[in-house]
Amino acid sequence: MVIIEVSLLSGFIVTSRSRMLLENRTIVKKIEVKANVVYIYLEKLNDESQTFILQLEQVIQVKNLKPASIKIYDYYQPGGLQISYYLGVGS
């Protein structure tokens, strides 16, 4: 199982529509939102390129917004962790 762990930008929440669109993808096993982090559980990955779009809604205006992390790792072997950072579209 592969986990995509998306830390939310300060002042943002994930939209319910975004969750619904992700949950309808056959590769997505489960989605959890806990304490400003979205966990997307995938059954497995293969060599095909995959694109995941997570729509966020700003609920609090935050100055000097810092990048948030996206971590991708194998649930059973978390040592192969891949980390990226994002600021969002229009930032």
Q: What is the CATH number of the domain that holds 14?
A: 2.60.40.690
User: For 13-52, how does the pLDDT look when each residue is reduced to its tens digit (9 = 90+)?
Assistant: 999 888 888 888 888 999 999 989 999 999 887 788 888 8
| Six-digit token string for 49 | 């390129």
Count of domains forming the chain: 1
Q: Indicate if the pLDDT at residue 90 is higher than 50.
A: yes
16 assigned to some structural domain: yes
Say what the pTM is: 0.83
User: For 65-75, how does the pLDDT look when each residue is reduced to its tens digit (9 = 90+)?
Assistant: 899 999 999 88
For the beta sheet containing 2-7, the strands, ordered from the edge strand earlier in sequence to the opposite edge, are 28-34, 37-42, 2-7, 68-74, 77-86
51 assigned to some structural domain: yes
91 assigned to some structural domain: no
